[in-house]
Chain A
Amino acid sequence: MLAFGAAPAAADTATFQHPAGPASHAMDDIYRAVLGVTMTIFVLVGGWLLYSALRFRVKRGDPDIEPPQVHGSTRLELGWTLAPVLVLVALSAYTLANVGTVKDAPGNAMVVNVKAQQFSFTYLYGANSGASGKAPSTPSRLVVPVHTPVKLYVRSIDVNHDWWVPALGPKIDAIPGQTNTDWFEADETGTFTGQCAEFCGLGHATMTITVKVVSKADWNAYTAKLQRT
């Protein structure tokens, strides 16, 4: 009855994409805590439901006796009101303890301005980047150095979009008329992909994001080249 239809049994498919930075690690930690607690609740309460359904079902030949007409139990009901309160308070507290890492960029973060429009994201380097005012060599591919906090100022010039690279950190809406901020720090080099997560029209599915994380040496060479152009 309660079988998970086609449960992704393998643990690594039932979790976040491989987190590659402090923000995404913090999110992943909260995710794992909530997953552990909710799975425990599901197994316990689901097990209770299943047991009750099987144990108390009428079987052929059972005597036709009316079961005890119990109308409730104040003590039990108070108990199962308070127990979820405690669980949820604990989960909220754990979440709040980790919020800072998810949301707040360190003060020395390099700044990248993100411009969203139908159907691409383009970038412009800002303060602390060493290439202030310059766009990446491919304007729709963001290049950043490894182990460096990156603060994004996200704007849109037409409709709502959302900048999301799952491995790097939280998503953030790009909404015309306002500037939203987001941050990430990649702790390994490589290419990370994502795509627009807020429905933005016909090309929504094609609005991809590519972030190339390079070593600090490569980054210095890259910015030097950008400065020359």
Chain B
Amino acid sequence: MNWREAKAVLEALIFASSEPVTIKEMSIITGLNEETVRTLLSEMAVEYNDQQRGIQIIEVAGGYQLVTKPEMAVYVEKLKKVPRQAPLSQAALETLAIIAYKQPITRAEIETIRGVRVESSLTTLLERGLIEETGRKEGPGRPILYGTTKEFLKYFGLKSLDELPVVDDWILNRQIEMDVTAD
């Protein structure tokens, strides 16, 4: 097949799938090597962007997905009543941030950092499929370890965990100097 045909096939695959499609899957189906698939996809992404289209190809959670462009959101949301899902609460976001950066991690370890019980935010995050149990820690009680899921990457539009926002490590580098007098 020529490259135009190949692009049409890739477009069809991504369109038909409800989940992001991986390069590997597309390579196996089309018989093209992974490098070629990657090149074609990046060309397609540019084409979608250049032309006045309402959709685009994005890379998310280790695969590729067709989505509407963000500037279309204002129209799309008028289309129908979309299922309302409340944004994550501050507490849930904090718990999730700790898990994302420090996984695998136990509940007790999260609670030490947040200084508060985190049972309810863990339940929320498990229910929404953003985290999962990844195993058990060796030691007394063998506590459950938690980690993030693929759904987590999709929900936040991340290609992989490497794409998590970088947080400044200033705390580790700064010398803690204390004034020893009471106020």
A binds B: no
